[in-house]
Every structure is written in structure tokens, then in C-alpha cells.
Structure 1
Amino acid sequence: MIRAHAGARPDADALIQDGVRLNYAELDDLMDRIAAALQREGVRPTESIAICASTSIEYAALFVGALRAGVAVAPIAPSSTPEQIVGMVADSGAKRFFLDAEVEAAISGQPHDPATPRTAFEAFEAWIEPEGAVPAPVDIQPEWPFNIIYSSGTTGTPKGIVQSHGMRFQHVNRAEASGYGPGTVSLLSTPLYSNTTLVSFFPTLAAGGAVLLMKKFDAKRYLELAQAYKVTHTMLVPVQYSRMLALPEFDAADLSSFRMKFCTSAPFGAALKTDILRRWPGGLVEYFGMTEGGGSCVLVAHEWPDKLHTVGRPIPGHDIRLIDEEGREVPTGEIGEIVGASAAMMNGYHNQPGKTDDATWVSPGGTRYIRTGDVGRFDEDGFLTLMDRKKDMIISGGFNIYPSDLEAVMRGHPDVADVAVVGVHSADWGETPVAFVVSKGADAAAIKAWTNERLGKTQRLSDVRLLDELPRSHIGKVLKRDLRDGYA
């Protein structure tokens, strides 16, 4: 698709960062040089490379250039520990590891496997083939691995999620419906190793649009870029939307070029969606799904203003069901774990068939579904409301407590700027809820008393702790495990 755009519109912008522009003809040539270099090194189709670096035009070109050679890409978060980085590179089976100077310094004390040569981005130009190089053509198959996305680089052992070319093409197929086209300018401020970013990155290039990359998100800089480049599309996580709308200069910014804004990866409150629709031109679409694939939901927020508390309905062709602890489907209106099946499903967890099996539910009819670990409920109109992560549900004295219910109450307190509720061990009740709050002024005791007056007896908080900010991942998810572990 990129080659077709290079032939039809060679001078059109493909990648932009920090004032540097790469048009489609230049990107097409660079991809050939990268693919030819990988072939020169003996990297064969369906094998993989790993990348661990900050966002850059070279990073983006390397990703798509490897794909042209039929080579899968394992993008790894630089925020991971040195041990995790080295472990993920090894797990991916990468034939070559590309990294920047910062990552190279971070992992300098780790053992280096000579079977996986390293290439620094600082030496990237010398590594690729000369201009005009042409790689041997590769007949890519839909089931071949496209990328290996690691599920976590913060806590626990990351799992490599293998996505196929066929699965990625399902994302691209949605591009036209989302308004992507040759005139698109997508501003992406989340990292290239995140699936959140890639679900907008690839459709933009597939449609012949321009991808405007930010190395690191900064709310004021984002506004400047959005206006200067007349941005039409963006993918942001909820905390980024919050920070943008909190800027004093936000309402004076000219954002009239926006056609569509997207959000995914973390809980997206109805009040925040309402504020975005009121103050930011263009449509707003929320996606709910997993990197692993399976079933996804979409909420076209500007068309369903009375459903902003939900994550929308299943995408056509996506079958989403709710099951109980015994794996039986629950009726409409009841709460259950969300499982989904579709054409967009991972091949499995890399080298971890047991975990792949654990993430699978098979229906009585024999259909394979991916278990999300999320708990939700369908309403009578078929819209899905998320309750919580299954593992975050608190069982206190035999009662199920959903932290999101408590958080929703606490957000009604005028001095609560941010909040997360977790379950901690209790000798009396098994578990008990504790709230971590970013306060605008009220003390912990006052917030606890105010909240407990508004909760049922089984829901009441046992403690409130004040923090300057909640710990979050690179895509804005609150790290509840860190809060639980710290409290313990």
C-alpha cells in the first residue's frame, strides 16, 4: 500500500517529526534499503527483529521496512527494566536488535548474546543498503507474524502477543469508516512500541495520510503541533485528554481541522467524554479491546451522547459474550467476564502455549474466544458497560465490590482530582477497599467520611491515602499492583 501511494503521490508527506518530513517516495526507497539490508544479514521471512528506542522517523521506517521483507517486529518499551529488555529480546527470537544510545547505556551491564547482533540507531544510515537498493520480493502470507507486542514492561513477566498480517489488516480495513484518507494528518504522541499507537499508525499510512510523531507527550506542544499542521486525526489515552482540557489556553486553540479523535487502553469516564464533545471539534470514538484481539467494541460518542458511560457495541463481525466463573454464559443485564472472537485474534503468546490456553474460552459450539479479564454488563440496547478488571474485583466478607463503583462516587467530591481504589488483605473480611487520592485540598479523613456516607455498608473504605499523583503506565493505565504492593 505504501508503494502504491509512492507511485501515485510521491511528494506527499508520510512521516513528520520535529520539522523533518519524509515523503512517500523517500519512505518507499528507505523501506527497500532496510528490507535489502535484512536480507543481506540473512534474516528470513517469518523471523523477527527487536527494536527498543524512543520514537523517531528511523524507528517507524525500520518497522515498515522489516515488514516488506516479511520479517516480524518486536517493539520493546525502553521503560522496562534492563533485565526485562534483554529477556524480551531473547524471548522474541530476534535475529537483530536495534536500540538507541539511551537503551544501550541502560542494558550495558546485562549479558550480550552474540547470536543477536546489535545495531545502534546512531549507526543506522551506515547499516542500511545504499540508495536504489532493491530487495528480493517476498510473498507475504496472512498467517505470518506481523509483530510481537509485549503485554507489560512495568511489573510481572511480559508476554509476547503474536499478531499476524491478517489481524493487522483487519485494523486497516476499518480506516475508511474512521475517515482516514490521503488528506489525513494523524498526530501520535504515544510510543511506537504500544499497540495503542499502532492501531492508528498503520491505518494512516495504509490510507496515504501523514503521521506526525511526538517523541514525548507534552500538552502545550501538542496544541502547537495540532494547529501548525492542521491535524485531522489523533489517538490519545484518557489522561492525555484530561491534561489537554485542563490547559488555560485550550479553548483559544484553533482545532477546527480535527475530523476524528480516538481513545483506548484505559477507563474513559463519561464526564471526560462529555467535556471533549463540548469543547473539541470533530468526532470522538472509543475502542475497547485487547492487544490479543478477539472481540472489540466501539462507541461513536458523538452519535450516542446518552451512552457515554459505556464502551459501545461490538464491532460488526465481532462476537462478544459474558461468562461466569464456571464458564457459562450469563443473561443480558447480568455481570460476567468479557470474552470475544473475531477475525482479528492473536496467533497466541510467543513460546507460552499454557498461557495461550489460559486466555482461551471455547464455546459449547467449539468457537475459540479470547478471555479479556475484564468484567462487564450488556444493557438492553446491546451497549457494554465495563465494571472492572476481574483481578481488581474486591471480595469483602463474601460480597463482590467493584472499585469502579467506588471511584465513580469519589469523583463526585469537589476536592478529588484523581482516584484509584484497590483491595488489600484484611484479617476480618478477606479483602477491604482502600482509596488512593490526588486531592485538591481536603484531607484523607474528610474524604473517607464523605465517601462512606454515600456507599453501602459492604462497600465502605477502610482507608484513604493521599498521593501527589497516581502511578501510571506509558499509556495512562493506573498501576494498581504498585498501589497494592506499596500499601502492603
Structure 2
Amino acid sequence: MSNLGIATHGGADVHQGGTIGDMIISAIGRFPDRVAFVDGDRSLTYTQLGVQIGKAMAAFQQLGLKRGDGVMQLAGNRVEVFVVMAAAYLLGLRSVTLHSMGGYDDHAYIIQDAEPLVFISEKEHWARATELRAGCKAVPHWFSHGECEGFNDFWALADSLPPQPLVSHAGAADVIRLAYTGGTTGKPKGVMLANRCVWMQAVLLMAARGLPPGCRVLSPTPISHGAGAMIVPTLALGGMFVLQRGFDPEKFIDAVEKHRIGSAFLVPTMIYKLLDHPRCATADFSSLKMLSYGASPMTPARIREAIARLGPVLFQSYGQTECPSNILHLTSEDHCRTDVDTLASAGMPYPGVTVALLDENDQPVGTGEVGEICVRSPLVMDGYWKQPEQTAQALRNGWLHTGDMARRDAHGYYYLVDRRKDMIISGGFNVYPKEVEDVIAHHPAIAAVAVIGVPDEKWGEAVKAIAVKRSAASVDAEELRDLVRRAKGSVCTPKTVEFVDALPLTALGKPDKKALRTRYWGGQERAIH
């Protein structure tokens, strides 16, 4: 009798997908002579990249590392950072990358929490690495990328060994990356990303961003964090990844023109600096087909300015560490719609990602109502490292709870209004700072703005705007207050407006609202939100 139509198989293995290591191996085999990386004056072909990954694998095996052990790095953008990450992925090690602009306390906490067996830094971070080694005695192996006083050169060890064959030893369920949250609220949490998550992130980036074969991608933002997710998709398409150590508008423009860059990832503050640079008006951006931005929202006024100067190349991605990079996206075509106000939107869900807006009882809210963004997807983390209670809270009722508040319009676009913790309660009314920020940012004299709640005897919390003026621009506080009052009403109107030379930023380039609040909530028993 025929079994047609009846699903029969020998186990769940038949339904498992590939791994991020498989993607790397395939790219190296497919494009052996192409240039994979440009790193300053150096360039590496795909074949050379594969040899380096094999040598790093050999070094880790020489050190006795086994599947599930941890490898940590503290370094700026350099090709060796990716090589070590790739070797970890292939061997099934846990890769952890520290943000080079992070503070000592966070770095030390992450080392103690993640328990790596190998720590690799570089000469540029000698002082911090030396301090961390003195304070974190449990880590047995300390190395540097290249020569560095007091540290063994990791590549001297690797080069002394024959490269290991490029074979993926890790399964789809292995946690191959611990990605620590930024630490802007309490202690950083280690987000456990399985091979499944990292692989799917790469596939979704390829599917949604429409990178062409042979694409050339420029990254001045840290590959230790969000920008690093673009490397494997670039390699899978036979492209070239160009590294820069930090963002400088002049150097960015030089690289775009020299390498005919087709794609880049920046955070909004970097795009603002690029738009304000004198060369932006005359630079040759004709090769640039996609300028992706994320980490924090970009104001609609400056989005319009970017489109006018650079063309229809903007691509927005909204995500978080717990569902890396890919929750919502706004395509270049979305940016240019005139029938729908999309410029304040974070876009629609990525393919393979289910998004719902839920209330405090995890029930769906109606169209146009504010709810918490909650997510289901194979992309979602396995949980927080050694934090079962926080894992249960974040993943309760079968949803990843992002903590971000949004509304959805009738077309299916999502509009972020703020993080739940950032919501201001003034006189019993909810005020979402981003909505106020968007109004103020429309004023041509304003370069940047942040809105927070500050203690107030009458209102509980008073809405306060902290703004940066453009050079030589003139605007007063009352003018901005009138602008908000007309757009959002009296409840959302800032009680006070303060002008500053610059907003404090987190290590990831986001406005540091924790630092801003500290100025006003310091000494208070609690911060009322």
C-alpha cells in the first residue's frame, strides 16, 4: 500500500537547516581568487581567508578548547576579529565580542559572567586588556592580535600550526555566540544565540536587503556588534567587505569613491554627520545603492534630507540583540512612498518573523493602539546566559517580549513610540518621548534632540526636551514648545527646553538617556516613569 501523503521519517534531523559555518565554507570554495576583505592597506582573498580561519581553528584545538568553550575578543575593526569569530562558529565555540568603547566595569562583568577560556585583544587596547587581565584571574589564556607588550601573539601560535580543514563541527542548536546587551539599564545580559539564529540572520539579510552578487560593503561601525552580521551575506554573494576603524565623514566618502561601495551600515548620528559635512554635496555617491541604518530611529526630517542628497538608498532595520537585527524593516521603496506616511515607521516584519502588539496581559491590541512588540521566529534567542528567571520573563507565553512600544497602521506598518521603560507619565497621561522628538526634529534649526521625564512636584514627571542647535542656527525654547503644542497637544508639550552643545551617546551611538536622566534623578529614591 502506498504511503503517499503520509509524513514518515527517521527523526527530527531531516528537518534541520544549515549552519553559519556551512555558508562560510561554501563562499570560500566558490570564490577562491576574489578579494574578500580590504582592511586598510591589506587585502585578503577568499582562499587566504580560509587559510587564516583554519589556522585559528588549529590554535584553539592546540589550546585544548572543546565544543561549548568560550572565546572573547576586545578589538576594533580588523579582519582577524572575523577570522576568530568564524573559527569559533566552525568549532562550536561560544564567541563573545566586547565593544571597544565600553567601560571597564561592564567589560570585567562580562568576562566573569561569560567565563571564556581565551581572551584576545590588540595593541590599541593594551591598557584596558592589561587592567582586565589583572582583575579577571579565571581566564587562562590571554593573547593579542599581533605584537603587544605583555601578551602572546595569537597569530604567532596559529602560524606555527598547519591549518585545520574547514569543516563545521557545530550543530544547528549549538550556542555559538553570546551577545551582551549594551548595559544601559543594569548589568549586561548574555543573549544566547544558537547556530540557527546566526544562520537565519544571514539568510534574512540576503533575502530582504537585495544585495547583488559581488556587492561591495563598507563598514566603519563595529563588526563586533550589529555590522558584523553583514559579513557572511557579503561573502556568500562573492562580495568584498571594506573595514574602517571608526566613522569619519571624510574617510567614509573617500572609501565610497575609491572602492565604488554599493552598501554601508551607519547609525543615525553618523548619517547626520555625513549630511552636515561640506563634501556631502559634491561627493560621488553614484555607486551607493543601499545605506542601511539602525540601532536607533532616524528623524523623518533628516530622512528626507538624506534622500534628497544621496538618492533613494535608505534601508532601515529594527531589531534587538534578543532577535538579532531582523524584526522590522523599511525598504528604500518604503522610504519613498507618498500615499502613506512611512518615514516615522520602522517598517513591516522580515520574512520568517511573526510580530504582534500585545497589552500588559499579552492580549492583542487594535489597529492604531499602542502595544508591546512581541516576536516569534527561529531567529529568537535561546535565552539569557545563566539567567533563567529573566529568560522566562522575556519569553513568557511563547513570545519574545522586546520592551518596545509601537502602533500598527491599517497598511501594516509599525511605528515605534518608545521603550516601555522610557514612557513618561505626566499628570496621569502617557507621553511617548519619540513622538515629541520627531516633532522638534522637524525644526530646521535642530540637529539632534532627546526627550526625557524629570521629577516634578505637580505632575510627577515633567516632559523635558534637550536639544542641539545646528551651527549658526537660531531658535528659542518657546518656539519649540509651540511646535509640539500644535502637533501633539499640551500634555506632550515640554515644560522646559534646554540647549546643549552635544547629546551624550552610548558606546553603540545611541542617545544616552540614562546619562541624561541621572542629571535630574540623582539622589531620588526612585525614578517615576
TM-score interval for Structure 1 and Structure 2 normalised by the shorter chain: over 0.9
Which secondary structure state, in structure 1, belongs to the residue aligned with residue 130 of structure 2? coil
Deviation at 1:326, TM superposition (A): 2.6
Query: Counterparts of 1:150 and 1:272 in 2: how far apart (Å)?
Result: 30
> Which of these residues, 172, 176, 184, is aligned with residue 215 of structure 2?
184
Query: Counterparts of 2:494 and 2:312 in 1: how far apart (Å)?
Result: 40
User: Does residue 290 of structure 1 match 2:320?
Assistant: yes
User: In the superposition, relative to structure 1, how do residues 63 and 383 fare at CA in structure 2: closer, same or farther (>3 Å)?
Assistant: same
> Could you tell me which residue of structure 2 aligns to residue 169 of structure 1?
199
> Could you tell me which residue of structure 2 aligns to residue 305 of structure 1?
337
Deviation at 1:411, TM superposition (A): 2.1
Deviation at 1:155, TM superposition (A): 5.7
> Could you tell me which residue of structure 2 aligns to residue 73 of structure 1?
95
User: Does residue 413 of structure 1 match 2:446?
Assistant: no
Instruction: Indicate the larger mover: 275-284 or 461-470.
Output: 275-284
User: Does residue 423 of structure 1 match 2:453?
Assistant: yes
Which secondary structure state, in structure 2, belongs to the residue aligned with residue 108 of structure 1? helix
Instruction: Indicate the larger mover: 390-399 or 206-215.
Output: 206-215
User: Does residue 117 of structure 1 match 2:138?
Assistant: no
Deviations 1:110-144 (A, max 9, x none): 42314432112231321214364225844321111
Which secondary structure state, in structure 2, belongs to the residue aligned with residue 118 of structure 1? strand
Query: Counterparts of 1:125 and 1:403 in 2: how far apart (Å)?
Result: 48
> Which of these residues, 379, 383, 402, is aligned with residue 432 of structure 2?
402
Deviations 1:175-201 (A, max 9, x none): 15523354111101111221x212212
Deviations 1:25-80 (A, max 9, x none): 10000000000110111111122101111111221211112222221210011222
> Could you tell me which residue of structure 2 aligns to residue 234 of structure 1?
264
Q: Compute the TM-score of the two structures, normalised by the length of structure 2.
A: 0.86
User: In the superposition, relative to structure 1, how do residues 133 and 410 fare at CA in structure 2: closer, same or farther (>3 Å)?
Assistant: closer
Written as runs of structure 1 = structure 2, the 5 A alignment for 1:196-275 is 196-275=226-305
User: Does residue 487 of structure 1 match 2:520?
Assistant: yes
Instruction: Indicate the larger mover: 29-38 or 306-315.
Output: 306-315
Query: Counterparts of 2:300 and 2:442 in 1: how far apart (Å)?
Result: 13
Q: Which runs of 5+ in 1 are unaligned?
A: 363-367
- Aligned letter for 1:74? V
Deviation at 1:255, TM superposition (A): 1.7
> Could you tell me which residue of structure 1 aligns to residue 380 of structure 2?
345
Contact 1:29–1:131 under 8 Å retained in 2 = no
User: Does residue 369 of structure 1 match 2:399?
Assistant: yes
User: Does residue 100 of structure 1 match 2:133?
Assistant: no
User: In the superposition, relative to structure 1, how do residues 53 and 133 fare at CA in structure 2: closer, same or farther (>3 Å)?
Assistant: same
Instruction: Indicate the larger mover: 468-477 or 212-221.
Output: 468-477
Instruction: Indicate the larger mover: 98-107 or 117-126.
Output: 98-107
Query: Counterparts of 1:201 and 1:278 in 2: how far apart (Å)?
Result: 29
User: Does residue 43 of structure 1 match 2:65?
Assistant: yes
Deviation at 1:467, TM superposition (A): 1.2
Deviations 1:184-228 (A, max 9, x none): 11101111221x212212211232211101111101100000110
Instruction: Indicate the larger mover: 218-227 or 281-290.
Output: 281-290
> Could you tell me which residue of structure 2 aligns to residue 17 of structure 1?
39
Query: Counterparts of 1:254 and 1:442 in 2: how far apart (Å)?
Result: 32
- Aligned letter for 1:179? G
Query: Counterparts of 1:10 and 1:282 in 2: how far apart (Å)?
Result: 34
Which secondary structure state, in structure 2, belongs to the residue aligned with residue 486 of structure 1? helix
- Report the count of equivalent residues: 482
Which secondary structure state, in structure 1, belongs to the residue aligned with residue 316 of structure 2? strand
Which secondary structure state, in structure 2, belongs to the residue aligned with residue 249 of structure 1? helix
Deviation at 1:108, TM superposition (A): 3.5
> Could you tell me which residue of structure 1 aligns to residue 78 of structure 2?
56
Which secondary structure state, in structure 2, belongs to the residue aligned with residue 296 of structure 1? strand
> Could you tell me which residue of structure 2 aligns to residue 461 of structure 1?
494
Contact 1:86–1:107 under 8 Å retained in 2 = no
Deviation at 1:308, TM superposition (A): 2.1
> Could you tell me which residue of structure 1 aligns to residue 422 of structure 2?
392
Contact 1:172–1:206 under 8 Å retained in 2 = no
Contact 2:208–2:350 under 8 Å retained in 1 = no
Query: Counterparts of 2:421 and 2:233 in 1: how far apart (Å)?
Result: 33
Deviation at 1:345, TM superposition (A): 0.7
Contact 1:375–1:389 under 8 Å retained in 2 = yes
Deviation at 1:419, TM superposition (A): 0.8
User: In the superposition, relative to structure 1, how do residues 39 and 135 fare at CA in structure 2: closer, same or farther (>3 Å)?
Assistant: farther
- Aligned letter for 2:417? M
Query: Counterparts of 1:143 and 1:189 in 2: how far apart (Å)?
Result: 31
Q: Which runs of 5+ in 2 are unaligned?
A: 1-22, 147-152, 522-529
Root-mean-square deviation (CA, aligned residues, Å) is: 2.1
Query: Counterparts of 1:180 and 1:47 in 2: how far apart (Å)?
Result: 34
Query: Counterparts of 2:129 and 2:27 in 1: how far apart (Å)?
Result: 39
Contact 1:447–1:464 under 8 Å retained in 2 = no
Q: Percent identity?
A: 29
> Could you tell me which residue of structure 2 aligns to residue 365 of structure 1?
none
User: In the superposition, relative to structure 1, how do residues 456 and 342 fare at CA in structure 2: closer, same or farther (>3 Å)?
Assistant: same
Deviations 1:125-176 (A, max 9, x none): 2121436422584432111112111111556311111111111111221315
Contact 2:300–2:438 under 8 Å retained in 1 = no
> Could you tell me which residue of structure 2 aligns to residue 359 of structure 1?
394
User: In the superposition, relative to structure 1, how do residues 337 and 4 fare at CA in structure 2: closer, same or farther (>3 Å)?
Assistant: closer
Query: Counterparts of 1:178 and 1:443 in 2: how far apart (Å)?
Result: 39
Contact 2:54–2:166 under 8 Å retained in 1 = no
User: In the superposition, relative to structure 1, how do residues 12 and 131 fare at CA in structure 2: closer, same or farther (>3 Å)?
Assistant: farther
Contact 1:31–1:68 under 8 Å retained in 2 = no
Which secondary structure state, in structure 2, belongs to the residue aligned with residue 128 of structure 1? helix
Contact 2:485–2:492 under 8 Å retained in 1 = no
User: In the superposition, relative to structure 1, how do residues 328 and 253 fare at CA in structure 2: closer, same or farther (>3 Å)?
Assistant: same
Instruction: Indicate the larger mover: 78-87 or 32-41.
Output: 78-87
